[in-house]
Amino acid sequence: MANILTYAQEYRQKSFEEEPFNIVDSLILCQISYYDYEDSGLKKIFFNKKISEYFREKAENDSEILIKGMLTASEDEKLIPVLALGGRHGDLRACGYVEEFSAEAEKQFAAITFELEKGLYYIAFRGTDASVVGWKEDFALSFQEEIPAQRAALRYAEEMMLRYPGRFYIGGHSKGGNLAVYAAMNLPEALQRRIKQVYSFDGPGFLREVYEKSRYENIKPIVCKIIPQSSVVGMILEEHADYKVVSSSAELHMQHNPYTWQVQGKEFVYLDSEDSFSRLVKRSLDGWLDDLDLGERKRIINTIFGVLYDTGITSFYELTERPREKLKRVLKCISNVNPEEKRFVIIVVKRFLGIASEELRHAAKEETARWNKNEITYTIKTWVDVGAGSLGEHDEIVETAWCAIEAIGNMPDLRKGGPTNASIPICKGIPAVCIGAGNTECYVHNAEKERFPLKESWKMPQLALLLALSMAKIIEE
């Protein structure tokens, strides 16, 4: 199934005159806002530079474009060369790039404006990066009516709309979607009337008080919120059910990645509703937040992020560098937390687990009722379209496995067939064998406890290692 990358490739040579701007284009521009334009010349207030020119300049100088720690880096590395070629998205001119970061103010904000045509513009707000500050600001949405990035978004949108007469799209992914809606619903009414559409791609919602104190009703008809079927982020503080659900190729929380959203033609592939996982997470979080007052929410978030600040870690991608060392620092900082605060965190976590377990039981009852109906829904996934076949007893990997099993003191038992983990590689032309579980009494497909004896279980990793080393010719028979 296609995604925003394949869409960008397919429609690269089609102008917006040939194919009018659509929702998939909107998500692509939001994704482009995650790139680093600090030395791009796009900070100016004039639309005098195409973004393709910037990407080519960066490529020539072998400079970094991606922000460190972003989970979409591998896909972005494929999209950027497409943009560098120019065309539908690459030939767009951009200006007004701003990036504001303050550890003291706990603020992480960035935005850029694209000119789609004369008198038609797109303001894209960046979502959360990998910084600890950015993540804490996100969590502050649960107890603050306004976070620093929201104030910056409102100011930015107002300045750009006053500077350029015409119509505007405003959008963002993740926290960027929240900023887009916040800015739009707090703009003066005269500016609100110039907005064509507001896009929130899996962006979190707001405290109830925020909706009540804003001019949200003025823009409600033009707000387009999209979430994947297992949405977590987009369902946080979501007070309205006015959203569309897009099909994602990923599982659970990884669906937050826009590159996993499925595209057909010039539209997303939509589903009827979010799945049971998304509903379970939402009800659990909603119940937990309702159980805490604003002061308690602030206290637990400050305590948890206080530990991260004390470690000196400024970005979550740092945790992947020497993780054992970082874990020791985290554990040491946890040990230094005030005992009273520790007790508070434990109590609050227990309250969440209690609410979540109750919601899980409720979800299980719902699923049971659904499956007891006459009509059953199901999904079929085809992994392979050819028969697996089999290997001969004199195949190299079979003979090597035989020798390895003898070497650990077991009697080989050659059987045809095997589990899926051997069949899939075989059907793709990759030699594979199932070597069992190391001991002769284990039936791996039987869930009865007595079928999984610990006796000689150490032989399993030894057998696997022997086979791997032998096949790699590191050791001989």
pLDDT in tens, 209-219: 888 888 888 99
Residue 29 to residue 417: CA distance in whole angstroms = 50
SS3 475: coil
**Is 49 in the same domain as 108?**
yes
pLDDT of residue 121: 98
The β-bridge relationship of strands 120-125 and 107-117 is antiparallel
Q: What mean pLDDT do residues 233-261 have? A: 92
**Is 270 in the same domain as 354?**
no
Q: Is residue 286 in a domain?
A: no
pLDDT of residue 450: 45
The answer to pTM > 0.85 is no
Q: Is residue 391 in a domain?
A: no
**Is 118 in the same domain as 212?**
yes
Q: What mean pLDDT do residues 302-325 have? A: 87
Q: Is residue 381 in a domain?
A: no
**Is 330 in the same domain as 449?**
no
Q: Is residue 387 in a domain?
A: no
**Is 154 in the same domain as 71?**
yes
pLDDT of residue 447: 45
Q: At a CB cut-off of 8 Å and minimum separation 6, what does 34 contact?
A: 66, 67, 70, 72, 76, 126, 127, 129, 173
Structural domain ending residue among the three candidates 227, 248, 275: 275
Higher-confidence position of 71 and 247? 247
User: Per-residue DSSP letters for 3-42?
Assistant: -HHHHHHHTTT--TTTS---HHHHHHHHHHTTS--TTSST
Q: What mean pLDDT do residues 19-34 have? A: 97
Query: Tokens 């620093």 sit at which residue?
Result: 148
Structural domain ending residue among the three candidates 275, 303, 329: 275
pLDDT of residue 451: 47
Q: Is residue 193 in a domain?
A: yes
Q: Is residue 335 in a domain?
A: yes
Q: Is residue 280 in a domain?
A: no
pLDDT higher than threshold 60 for residue 135? yes
**Is 226 in the same domain as 315?**
no
Q: Is the dihedral angle over the CA atoms 262, 264, 267, 272 positive or is it negative? A: negative
Out of 5-9, 41-45, 103-107, pick the least confident: 41-45
Residue 308 to residue 301: CA distance in whole angstroms = 11
**Is 178 in the same domain as 325?**
no
**Is 262 in the same domain as 160?**
yes
**Is 218 in the same domain as 332?**
no
**Is 70 in the same domain as 40?**
yes
Distances in Å between the Cα of 53 and the Cα atoms of 48, 49, 97, 417 are 11, 7, 15, 57
Long-range contacts made by residues 412-418, C-beta under 8 angstroms, separation at least 24?
416/390, 417/390
What percentage of the chain reaches a pLDDT higher than 90?
56
**Is 66 in the same domain as 185?**
yes
| pLDDT class of 108 with cuts at 50, 70, 90 | very high
Structural domain ending residue among the three candidates 243, 275, 307: 275
What percentage of the chain reaches a pLDDT higher than 70?
88
pLDDT higher than threshold 60 for residue 304? yes
Burial 268-302 (b: 16+ CB within 10 A, else e): bbeeeebeebbbbbbbbbbbbbeebeeebbbbbbe
Q: Is residue 379 in a domain?
A: no
Strand order in the sheet with 223-228: 93-102, 107-117, 120-125, 167-173, 195-201, 223-228, 244-246, 270-271
Q: What is the CATH number of the domain that holds 154?
A: 3.40.50
Number of domains making up the chain: 3
Q: What mean pLDDT do residues 446-458 have? A: 53
Domain that holds residue 80: 4-275
**Is 228 in the same domain as 342?**
no
pLDDT higher than threshold 90 for residue 157? yes
CA atoms within 13 A on the CB side of 349: 9
pLDDT higher than threshold 80 for residue 394? no
